[in-house]
């Protein structure tokens, strides 16, 4: 009877509209605890195992970009007065995601932690968020992840920019998964910075504007992006139900596959990640051909 109930719960969860759905903390509390929640947890684990099995032999994205959205809304849905608690919960969750990516065989992960637009939020919130980011980056270093800052560091406070630079220097020779930390990042700003870098580079070589115009192509610009030398993202995941890029990896995502999930970032589960990989594996990537 217990086994049958668990399977029924799992089937209902899979068939419900929007499996990667938003569940607030209060809804979880209202749904009951104890035996019922135990059944549901077991159902999730069974479904998770089934997803893992279904992915065997399928292509895994080399580079996954993640828009970690919904931390503030998660905090409000949990009844928390300070949205920074949501940012901290989301930051803590990053390490689980990186472990899932490493287990799956992903080579590069780009995490959008702070956009150029976010810098216009109330000063107290930005200050608290920057402290959380600094602490998270230091922990990435402590755990041995290879870290690369991705963003306009000149827009950040000196202390934050230095933490990011130090992390890159300290982990540059680490192997394994590469973690791009996008802080002070905006896609339009990145392209502008790439063009500016390209112009400076050719100016030092004595190249005239006319000569540059004759030879300029997309690869010249790509070589000056924040992610130069890396594979473009195969899969971009955005949480919280929003279905837009918001300027994330505008240049690099030209041929990316997208996966939008209703769950707020702190509630994003491994089963949601596996579903994103399954969705990616099921797509036929033609790259315009």
In this structure, are residues 255 and 288 in contact, taking their beta carbons and an 8 Å threshold? yes
Nearest to 70 by CA among 122, 21, 16: 21
Quote the tokens at residue 36: 């019922």
Helix locations, the chain, DSSP H: 2-15, 25-30, 35-55, 71-77, 84-104, 123-142, 158-171, 187-204, 209-215, 218-222, 270-281
Q: How far is CA 65 from CA 18, 37, 68, 235, in A?
A: 21, 32, 10, 6
Which DSSP symbol is given to 241? T
Q: Are strands 108-115 and 257-260 parallel, antiparallel or unpaired?
A: unpaired
∠ CA 115-104-222, nearest 5°, is 45
Catalytic residue among 71, 82, 92, 118: 118
> Is 71 known to be catalytic?
no
Rounded CA separation 142/123 (Å): 29
> Is 174 known to be catalytic?
no
CA torsion angle 45 47 50 55 (round to 10): -100
Catalytic residue among 30, 41, 69, 217: 69
| Catalytic residue set | 69, 118
């Amino acid at each position: 009877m217990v086994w049958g109930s668990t399977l029924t719960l799992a089937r209902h969860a899979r068939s419900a509209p929007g499996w990667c759905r938003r569940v607030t903390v209060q809804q979880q509390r209202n749904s009951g605890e104890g035996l019922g929640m135990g059944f549901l947890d077991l159902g999730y684990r069974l479904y998770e195992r089934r997803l893992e099995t279904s992915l065997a032999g399928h292509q895994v994205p080399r580079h996954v970009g993640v828009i970690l959205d919904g931390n503030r809304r998660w905090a409000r849905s949990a009844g928390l007065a300070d949205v920074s608690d949501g940012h901290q919960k989301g930051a803590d969750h990053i390490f689980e995601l990186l472990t899932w990516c490493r287990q799956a065989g992903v080579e590069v992960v780009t995490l959008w932690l702070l956009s150029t637009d976010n810098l216009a939020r109330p000063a107290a919130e930005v200050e608290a968020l920057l402290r959380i980011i600094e602490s998270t980056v230091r922990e990435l270093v402590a755990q041995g992840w290879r870290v690369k800052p991705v963003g306009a560091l000149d827009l950040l406070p000196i202390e934050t920019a230095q933490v990011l630079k130090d992390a890159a220097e300290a982990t540059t020779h680490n192997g394994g998964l590469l973690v791009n930390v996008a802080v002070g990042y905006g896609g339009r700003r990145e392209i502008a910075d790439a063009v500016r870098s390209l112009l400076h580079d050719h100016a030092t070589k004595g190249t005239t504007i006319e000569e540059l115009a004759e030879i300029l192509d997309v690869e010249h610009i790509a070589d000056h992006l924040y992610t130069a030398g890396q594979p473009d993202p195969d899969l971009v995941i955005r949480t919280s139900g929003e279905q837009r890029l918001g300027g994330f990896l505008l240049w690099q995502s030209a041929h990316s596959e997208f996966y939008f999930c209703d769950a707020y970032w702190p509630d994003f589960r491994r089963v949601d990640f596996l579903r994103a990989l399954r969705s990616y594996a099921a797509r036929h990537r033609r790259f315009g051909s």
